[in-house]
Amino acid sequence: MSKETASVNVATANETAAPGMPLLSLSLNDKFYLATAHTSDETLHYVYSLFCRQRHSGTYEMMPETDIAAFSDAKAADIYHKTIQNAVAYNKRGRLFEAVQGFVGNYIEDFYMRVR
């Protein structure tokens, strides 16, 4: 596994998290999340995320990257997608998002067009 600190262990329909424990923990230090989307086919559920990777403390790459996570369990995919959605919403409330919008706005638009 890379140096990322995100945990993708999510409780499935047949499992439950221990009382008081989160279903998913995701660090916002390694990646600056810009967008997310969720698609499905007959057997799998896909969660796409667009992000800028952290270079050094407080600085990020300006070329966004895309991650794709595949799940066989719809509930687990939904938990992961909603967690990324909350990370995007959190980032949009900050000044950094406003600052990078001019650089990455076209990437975000293209991301949503490609994952429909």
Residue 115: DSSP 8-state: T
Task: Say how far apart CA 93 and CA 77 lie, in whole Å.
Answer: 25
List the domain boundaries for the chain.
31-114
Task: Say how far apart CA 108 and CA 113 lie, in whole Å.
Answer: 9
Q: What is the pLDDT of residues 1-38, one digit of tens each?
A: 333 333 444 444 455 667 778 888 888 889 999 999 99
Q: What is the pLDDT of residues 45-81, one digit of tens each?
A: 999 999 999 998 878 888 999 999 999 999 999 999 9
pLDDT reported for residue 58 = 76
Determine the 3-state secondary structure of 113 from DSSP. Answer: helix
